[in-house]
Amino acid sequence: MAPRRDTADPRPRYRQIADELLTQLRSGQHAIGTMLPTETDLCAIYGASRHTVREALRLVEEAGLVSRRQGSGTSVIAHETPSRFVQDITSMGGLLQYPEETRLTVLHARETQMDAETAALLGVTTGDTWLRIESLRRVRVTTAPICFTTVLIPTEYAGVVEEIGMGHGPVYSLVEKHFGVQLASVEVDLTAGGVPESQAALLDCEPGAPALIIRRRYMDRNRRVFEMSDSCHPAPRFTYRALVKRES
């Protein structure tokens, strides 16, 4: 019988399956060098479609615990992986988005009214309604999320939510793709802070633990903010490393 799906769980089904497989692997249930059940078997075990199972296996592979080869199946290659991710910045683009090997997983998406402080940052009126997307970002070389990210976008762009995490593209590129918005500039603020109590359990750390806070405001040619994100990175899971050369 397929495991019963928890309808109260906000995670997508592929994420639920991936997390269960990761738990099995990290507990040693599947020995290194053995094969995971086939896609067909996993579909039957979890009562899920082949597409959902493949997405789950992709996430497990990105965690660095299995290796997938077409025609050969999925082999177990590790039970644990390192816990720090360093992003080398070789251009300004490195500050604007995360590397391709990271992936965003949506936890919640709901409409919310802007308070005065947030409205001022967005250049909108207090009380305006935007879509608030709460998510976790993971990378294949870490066992825990590298950050909790809150994204704010106008409600008319809500259609992009279903595509977040299904590919490597950042949220702003999905807005560009589907709604004809063109990114012109991004303001990036990096500050030191602490992990909020509401995010601590999801990030697997203590409330108030030291963290790097990154805020990005994405603007079009008219300087209109069409997306703002706040990311909380518990120390020392994520590091920006840049080489700055003196101008001649």
Beta-strand runs (E) in 168-208: 185-194
Please give the distance of CA 183 from its chain centroid, rounded to a whole number. Answer: 21
pLDDT, position 242? 64
Task: Give, in order, the Cα–Cα distances in Å from 198 to each of 116, 207, 209, 228.
Answer: 21, 8, 12, 20
Structure tokens at 132: 């608030």
The 10s digit of each residue's pLDDT in 172-215 is 999 999 999 999 988 989 899 999 999 999 988 889 989 999 99
| pTM to 2 decimal places | 0.61
The 10s digit of each residue's pLDDT in 138-147 is 876 556 788 9
Task: Kindly give the parts of the chain with pLDDT less than 50.
Answer: 92
H or E, element range at 115: none
* Full set of structural domains in the chain with CATH: 13-76 (1.10.10.10), 85-242 (3.40.1410.10)
pLDDT, position 44? 95
- Report phi then psi at 26, rounded to 5: -70, -20
pLDDT, position 205? 84
The answer to whether 128 and 119 have CB atoms below 8 angstroms apart is: yes
pLDDT, position 228? 97
pLDDT, position 191? 93
pLDDT, position 123? 93
Percent of the chain's residues with pLDDT above 70: 82
Mean pLDDT of the chain: 85
Q: Would you give the DSSP letter of residue 35?
A: B
